[in-house]
Amino acid sequence: MTVALYPGTFDPFHNGHLNIAQRALSLVDHLIVGVYSSPRKQALFSQAERIRLASEAMASLNHGGRVSVCGYDTLTINFARARGASVIVRGLRNSVDFDYEWQMAQTNHFLAEDVEVMCLFANEPFTFLSASLVREVASLGGDVSRLVPECVARAIAGVRF
- pTM for the full predicted model: 0.95
Buried b (16+ CB within 10 A) or exposed e, 146-157: ebbbebbbebbe
CA 25 to chain centroid: 13
The predicted-structure confidence for 9-57, as pLDDT tens digits, reads as follows 999 999 999 999 999 999 999 999 999 998 787 899 999 999 999 999 9
Q: How confident is the model at residue 150 (pLDDT cuts 50, 70, 90)?
A: very high
Chain mean pLDDT for the chain = 95
**What count of residues does the chain have?**
161
* CB-CB neighbours of 87 under 10 Å: 18
pLDDT at residue 6, rounded to an integer: 98
Whole-angstrom Cα distance, residue 119 to residue 113? 16
Walk me through the domains of the chain, giving residue ranges and CATH numbers: 3-157 (3.40.50.620)
The predicted-structure confidence for 71-119, as pLDDT tens digits, reads as follows 999 999 999 999 999 999 999 998 889 999 999 999 999 999 999 999 9
pLDDT at residue 63, rounded to an integer: 76
The CA-atom distances, in angstroms, between 25 and each of 6, 16, 62, 158 are 10, 14, 10, 31
